[in-house]
Structure 1
Amino acid sequence: MTATNTNLFVRPATEADAGPLIGVLAEAFHDGAVADWLIPDPTDRRTVYYRYFTDAFHHGLTHGQVYTTGDQTAVAIWYPRLERTSTDTRERLESLEAVAGVYAPRFVLLEEMFDAFHPDDPHHYLAYLAVDPTRQNRGIGAALLADHHRRLDDLGLPAYLEATTMRNRRLYLRHGYTAGPTIVLPTGGPIIWRMWRGAPSSGGRTPFPRTLPRRRPL
């Protein structure tokens, strides 16, 4: 367990945290340009998001690193990406169809766009950082970031993420990230800001890596 200040503790999440943290994820991501693009109907969105983030939380526990606070008001899901990875596209499509129903094509497109522009350099990938909307602007998300950043600096590894709002982009810039080329989602979709926090180096931090778009195997 890591103390980040006298009142806030960051710890690994477990299956016992599933209920509260899935709710935090679904509520924190419910509003915004990406949410509107994925699922225009807000009522449908709440239902689908709960299923989607149930899948995301359990996938993070199995394949990544999930952290929360002592009061379960925030969650971060990280994935070590130390070598190039591939996704079973057929299995993922089936999963998204089960989770998102008629909205699955947009979710598939979003994930394919993210994957196509993902850096190949070894790093940790911050897939999700969410704070209970009633507890935002209190430094909780920053504490989760700082906790993992210390771990990455000890390992000499960079971090990568996609910011979906200007507010989030500014947050990550304050925490040592630099912005790379953006992703523009098709069919009238919003802009996504690709962010990189380089590994410590003699010149400061390693720069945003050159990324060539790639296609998933068919």
Structure 2
Amino acid sequence: MIVVTPAEPGDLAAAASVLAEAFVDDPVTGTLLGGRGHDRPARARHLFVGLLRPVIADGTVDVARRAGEDDVLGVAIWEAPDAVTTIARLTAQLPSFWRACGPDNLWRALVTKRAVDRYRPRLPHWYLQEIGVAEAARGQGVGGALLDARLATVDGQDAGAYLESSTERNRRLYRRHGFVDGVPVRGIPAAPVTMWRAPASERVGRPARLTV
């Protein structure tokens, strides 16, 4: 049985390692990691430490484990509709981002974030920033359990949810959870596709299309 709970501060290292393993060869994330191929996993861990550390305390990072076990099998980073990202909060993570991207790719990471943010919906929504599953646990329903857990909260608030996906395989999973395809995000490698899940009160018949 897969159990999903909000991440605790003590989960930071394990959660970062799971996401690093899942995204080290991702067509978008991979372009942001500086250095040679052999140190990419370490750089990816630095990247996700920087992304995770400031938001774990918000209660919007979910981790999946087998019941009664400690190993983290999957991680999802969500941003709530009322989330506020301050400059001070981002600046505090610069050492981690520097170790991950290096001086050459840190600017590329900022350009990528700006490109992605231009496609975010105008209306309030939950944003699935990242979701990843440890290689040994893939195909066992971990990703679906992570989505189900947070989407129950989203539906309880009658809110929309939004994400971008770089692969067709992942988009099939998201479609099964009520997301519909939007448009490619131009200006970054692999042009990930936006996906939108309408609020529960609007999901009658075919889900509503996303307007950005």
Q: Deviations over 1:47-102 (max 9, x none)?
A: 3211110011112213451111234111111111248x67649x559824464213
SS in 1 for 2:192: strand
Assess, with a 3 A threshold, how the Cα gap between structure 1 residues 36 and 18 changes in structure 2: closer, same or farther: closer
Q: Corresponding residue for 2:208?
A: 207
Q: Corresponding residue for 2:113?
A: 111
Residues of 1 paired with 2:156 and 2:57: CA distance?
A: 24
Q: Corresponding residue for 1:156?
A: 158
By how many angstroms is 1:32 displaced?
A: 2.7
Q: Corresponding residue for 2:68?
A: none
Assess, with a 3 A threshold, how the Cα gap between structure 1 residues 93 and 55 changes in structure 2: closer, same or farther: closer
When the two structures are superposed, what TM-score results if normalisation uses the length of structure 1? 0.82
SS in 1 for 2:183: coil
When the two structures are superposed, what TM-score results if normalisation uses the length of structure 2? 0.84
Assess, with a 3 A threshold, how the Cα gap between structure 1 residues 74 and 115 changes in structure 2: closer, same or farther: same
- Counterpart of 2:79 in structure 1: which amino acid? Y
Listed as ranges, the gaps of 5+ residues in structure 1 are 1-6, 212-218
- Counterpart of 2:138 in structure 1: which amino acid? Q
Correspondence 1:47 to 2:42: yes
What is the aligned counterpart of 1:26 among 20, 40, 44?
A: 20
- Counterpart of 1:108 in structure 2: which amino acid? L
- Counterpart of 1:185 in structure 2: which amino acid? G
Identity of aligned residues (%): 29
Judge which range, 95-104 or 169-178, deviates more: 95-104
Contact 2:46 2:99 in 1 (8 A): no
- Counterpart of 1:54 in structure 2: which amino acid? V
- Counterpart of 1:72 in structure 2: which amino acid? V
SS in 2 for 1:181: strand
By how many angstroms is 1:132 displaced?
A: 0.3
What is the 5 A alignment of 1:7-86?
7-39=1-33, 41-63=36-58, 65-70=60-65, 71-82=71-82
Assess, with a 3 A threshold, how the Cα gap between structure 1 residues 143 and 94 changes in structure 2: closer, same or farther: closer
Superposed CA RMSD in Å reads 2.5
Residues of 2 paired with 1:109 and 1:48: CA distance?
A: 19
SS in 1 for 2:80: strand
Residues of 2 paired with 1:148 and 1:88: CA distance?
A: 27
- Counterpart of 1:112 in structure 2: which amino acid? R
By how many angstroms is 1:45 displaced?
A: 2.3
Residues of 1 paired with 2:197 and 2:178: CA distance?
A: 6
Matched residue pairs, number? 202
Listed as ranges, the gaps of 5+ residues in structure 2 are 66-70
By how many angstroms is 1:44 displaced?
A: 3.8
Q: Corresponding residue for 2:195?
A: 195
Residues of 2 paired with 1:184 and 1:104: CA distance?
A: 19
SS in 2 for 1:162: strand
Contact 2:24 2:40 in 1 (8 A): yes
Judge which range, 117-126 or 38-47, deviates more: 38-47
By how many angstroms is 1:15 displaced?
A: 0.8
